[in-house]
Amino acid sequence: MLLPLLGLCAVVGGCAGITETISPAFVDPARYDLWDCKQLAPERKTLIKRRDELERLMAKAETGAGGAVVSELAYRNDYLAVRGQQKLLEETWRRDRCRESDMEAANPPAQPTPVPAPAGAAKPSKLLGSKSGDAIH
């Protein structure tokens, strides 16, 4: 009973140790080649959010019984894929000399707020007593 558990721990521990060497294998190396900085910026934010979310989920899973195994089985492949994408994107980001200001430029502009009409502008009023075709005296 103890021997299989130790074997499983060794396998899980071994997987955790090779994260950096495997992650590029989960990504197409040409994925971001034709992307410009304005396209890379939102993808960069998305990958950071996804990585953080997976790290939280893995940490939460590890708190339960058998959590390390659950964490590895449920989240490790996604985590490795995101880390690989992130590494490739960062390489492309540096190669293209993108800047943080590109990330702000990638945010969609805010919707313009309607401007109310000035208070002095009056609606055209109808002339009292006039009918179409009548002359005003």
Residues 6+ apart with CB under 8 A from 67: 61
pLDDT per residue as tens digits for the range 62-84: 887 887 887 888 888 899 999 99
Between 95 and 111, residue with greater pLDDT: 95
- pLDDT of the residue at 104: 59
Could you tell me which residue, 9 or 26, shows the higher pLDDT?
26
Cβ partners under 8 Å of residue 83, min gap 6: 19, 20, 23, 51
Which two tokens mark 30?
Answer: 């040409």
State the pLDDT at residue 118.
Answer: 62
**pLDDT for res 67:** 79
pTM of the model: 0.56
